[in-house]
Amino acid sequence: MRRGLAWVGALLLLGGCVSSRPIDEIQIIQQMGYDFENGRYTGTAVYPTFKQGPMTKPNMLTTTSPTIYDLIPRLSSKSALPIEEGQLRLILFGKEFARRGVTQITHSLARNNKVGSHLLLGVAEESAKELLKITAKTTLSDTLYLPNLVEQNEQSMNLPKTNLHLFLYRYFSPGSDPFLPYFEKKGDFVKLEGVALFRDDQYVGHVSLRDSFLMKILLGETKNGVYQLKVGNRGKQGEDRVMLQNLWAKPKYEWKRDGRRHVLDVFVHIHASVRDYPSWLDQPGGDLFADVKKKMQNELEHNMRRLFHYFQKKRIDPLGIGDFVRSVTRHWDSDAFYREYPDLDIRPHVTVDIVHTGIGE
């Protein structure tokens, strides 16, 4: 009897705890844009509206405010249904906004238990609002155009993996700086342009998608990515390039002392397949590939050196070199390391193994 009463009581009480929110009675924000224009912040929210059946149509809400935290409440005042941020997939920062720092937003996201760790972040070349408007207009039913674009490029192309967790990890780590995908408006299309680089939480510059292949490898992501290399001086345009596809690559860092300076040796071993190559390389019996391999290695080394110099000049460390040095130094001092960082001697050594050249010969 008593037992039964306890159960009934528990059921009644738990039944009262449910707070259900049917899907057509809320506004699920899937993408959010932040801009800074003329001293005011602009927030743009993209949400799907459900028509008949599985068809969804992306819609937009925009508002401006002198402060950042105020944006979601202000969006609410323009929306007939309550706004839910639990399905947020991508947050896009305008370049001006990113330049002023994104800490406020990312910290608030890190505290928000409704937002998942897989949330993607990105930087737009001009305004985030414009970019989101394009995706809302050009895609008929796909409200997740940008998130899918990023994920596709991370999985099969040159973009290194990024998301909220990785952003916060690199932001808080004393030995690395965060980076995000960088988008540009090309006519009526959105194009992934490369990787936006941050110093602490402020946007300081970006590198191209081609260079992000090198970043991806140097970060230790082993698979995928394509890279075009110049291997000769003959022929017409395109006749002297080879297209390299990374099958498996591994970087190895070595930190040592050379007199009064420190030297960082970076050994990169790439197992690649050559997807496209000029016809003159195809002479049977000749060992032209050995020569080409040498050229590829030289060019990769040259480009890596250029990339390192760029990072050093900007005093940023998106590759987490500081993190690596910390792991091999007792009582690592981050201030001392980054004082030395711009003059650090970083020496890339690349080995390329051409595993195959496709099914043709």
Among 57, 65, 83, 174, contact with another protein (rule: CB under 8 A): 174
| Token pair listed for 239 | 């006749």
1 contacts another protein (rule: CB under 8 A) = no
Compute how many residues bind another protein; rule: CB under 8 A.
31
**Between the CA atoms of 113, 114, 117 and 121, what dihedral angle is there, to the nearest 10 degrees?**
-120
323 contacts another protein (rule: CB under 8 A) = yes
Least distance (Å) between residue 221 CB and another protein: 11
Q: Are 90 and 121 in contact (CB under 8 A)?
A: yes
Site string for another protein, 98-127 (x = CB under 8 A): ---------x--x--x--xxx---------
Least distance (Å) between residue 158 CB and another protein: 20
Q: Are strands 226-230 and 120-124 parallel, antiparallel or unpaired?
A: unpaired
| Token pair listed for 182 | 């960088």
Among 70, 85, 157, 169, contact with another protein (rule: CB under 8 A): 169
Q: For tokens 């409704």, what's the residue?
A: 114
Residue 111 or 234: the one with the smaller Cβ distance to another protein is 111
The identity of residue 94, as a single letter, is G
Q: How far is CA 278 from each of CA 67, 194, 245, 275, rounded to the nearest angstrom?
A: 56, 27, 15, 10
324 contacts another protein (rule: CB under 8 A) = yes
Q: Check residue 149 and report its DSSP letter.
A: H
The region of 10-18, 40-48, 71-79, 306-314 touching another protein under the rule CB under 8 A is: 10-18
Least distance (Å) between residue 84 CB and another protein: 13
330 contacts another protein (rule: CB under 8 A) = yes
Half-sphere exposure of 361 (CA within 13 A, CB side): 4
The region of 5-13, 51-59, 130-138, 183-191 touching another protein under the rule CB under 8 A is: 5-13
Q: Where are the beta strands (DSSP E) in 125-238?
A: 179-186, 189-199, 202-208, 226-230
257 contacts another protein (rule: CB under 8 A) = no
Q: Which helix (H) or strand (E) holds 109?
A: helix 103-111
Least distance (Å) between residue 169 CB and another protein: 6
Phi and psi at 144, nearest 5°, equal -110, 35
Site residues (vs another protein, CB under 8 A): 2-3, 6, 9-10, 13-14, 16-17, 19, 87, 107, 110, 113, 116-118, 165-166, 168-169, 172-174, 323-324, 327-331
